Amino acid sequence: MVKSIAAKFDRACAILDKYERNPHKLIPILQEMQAEYKYLPEEIMTFISVALGVSPSTVYGVATFYAHFTLEPKGKYVIKVCDGTACHVKESEGILKALEKELGLNKENKTTKDMLFTLETVACLGACGLAPVVVINDKVHGLMTPEKTLALLNDIKKEALSHVS
């Protein structure tokens, strides 16, 4: 436990050093921190602010400005439903609604209690040729329907269960 705390902290330092503690590199620093910690904990952001010599409110302002950053931990599987124009005219909303219903999530509540799924919409993944598109942990699934999506979800659930057992 103790070692892991220290190790985590060391990694944060390593990331900061990699970018030479340059405040102009705040965004790539936050990106790497998020890749490391899966989200941006308050302490890490405060730490970044001190290390870079910018105020914490500025770091917080930047972290909340960009959609890519998350201040809450995300689930193991991040499901992104594309709501770009092409997906939208091909009824991506139906997929989103089906998933919300299945997972018991909504706009405020984006992650399931068991921390297995996070449901998000994303403004175009540039895979419009395959609209509507659903992305699960960076794997793109094209030409989706609500039924296909739910089937996919069930497969994942089964897989997750088998891992546990």
Partner 1 sequence: MCPELAVRISLEERRKHFLDSMKQYKGRVVICAGTGCVANGSLDVYARFQEVIQEKGLKVAVTLKKEKADFIISESGCQGFCQMGPLVTIYPQGILYTKVKAEDVEEIVEKTLLSGELIERLLYHSPDDHKASADTKHIPFYEKQQRTVLKLCGNIDAQDIDEYIANEGYMMAQKAFHTLSPEEVCELILRSGLRGRGGAGFPTGRKWEATRLQQNDVKYIICNGDEGDPGAFMDRCVMEGNPHSVLEGMIIAARAVGATEGFVYVRTEYPLAVERLKVAIDDARKAGVLGKNIFGSGQSFDIHVMEGAGAFVCGEETALIASMEGKRGMPTPKPPFPAEAGLFGKPTVINNVETLASIPIIMQMGPEEYAAYGTSTSKGTKTFALTGHVANTGLIEVPFGATLREIVQGIGGGVTNDDGSLCGADFKAVQIGGPSGGCLTREHLDMPLDYEHLANVGAMVGSGGLVVMNNQTCMVSIARFFMQFTQNESCGKCVPCREGTKQMLALLDDILEGRATGETLDLLEELAQAVKIGSLCGLGKTAPNPVLSTLRYFREEYNAHVFDKRCPVGRCTALLDFAIEAAKCKSCSLCAKKCPVEAISGEKGQPYRIDTEKCIRCGVCADSCKFGAISRG
Partner 2 sequence: MLKVQRATIDNNEVLIEGERNLLELIRKANIDLPTFCYHSEISVYGACRMCMVEVEGRGIVPACSTPAVNGMVVHTNTRQIRNMRKLIVELMLANHDQNCTTCPKSGECRLQKIACQLGVDKVRFKQAEKLAPKDLSSDAIVRDPNKCVQCGDCVRVCQEIQSVGVLDFAHRGAHAKVIPSFDKGLGEVECVNCGQCVKVCPVGALTPKHQINEVWEAIHDKNKVVAVQIAPAVRVALGEYFGYKSGTTITGQTVTALRMMGFNHIYDTCFAADFTVIEEGNEFLSRFEKNERLPQFTSCCPAWVKFAEQYYPDMLTNLSSCKSPQQMFGALCKDMLAKELRIPRENLVVVSIMPCTAKKFEANREEFRVNGNKDVDYVLTSQELALMIKESGIKFDRLEPGSFDLPFGFKTGAGVIFGSSGGVSEAVLRYAADTAGKGSITEFSHLRSDGDIIIETVTIGDIKLRLAIVSGLGKARQLIDKIRRGEEHFDLVEVMACSGGCVNGGGQPVAESKTTVQTRAKSLYDNDKMLQFHNSKDNPYLQKIYNEDLSRPKAHQLLHTHYSNRKRISGEDFILSSKSGQKKLTLTVCFGTSCFLRGAPELYSQLTEYVKRSGLEEETEFKVSFCREKCEKGPVLLINDEVIERCTIDKAIKGIEEALQNMPRQAAEEASAAKESTKA
Give contact residues for partner 1 (rule: CB under 8 A).
Answer: 22-28, 30-31, 58, 61-62, 65-69, 83-91, 122-131, 133, 138, 140-142
* 154 token code pair: 């069930």
Residues 154, 67: Cα–Cα separation, whole Å? 28
Separation between Cα atoms, residue 39 and residue 47, nearest integer Å: 14
Report the alpha-carbon angle 14-15-20, nearest 5: 90
Q: How far is the CB of 106 from partner 2 (least distance, A)?
A: 17
- In the block, residue with structure tokens 């999506």: 149
CB nearer to partner 2: pick between 6 and 151: 6
Among 14, 24, 28, 61, binds partner 2 (CB under 8 A): 61
> Is residue 52 a contact residue for partner 2 (CB under 8 A)?
yes
What are the strands of the beta sheet with 77-82, ordered from one edge?
117-122, 77-82, 134-136, 139-141
Per CB under 8 A, the list member of 13, 14, 115, 143 interacting with partner 2 is 13
In this complex, which beta carbon is closest to partner 2, that of residue 115 or of residue 151?
115
User: From partner 1, partner 2, none, which one binds at residue 2 (CB under 5 to 8 Å depending on kind)?
Assistant: partner 2
Stretch that binds partner 2, among 23-31, 49-57, 124-132, 138-146 (CB under 8 A): 49-57
CA distance 84 to 15: 33
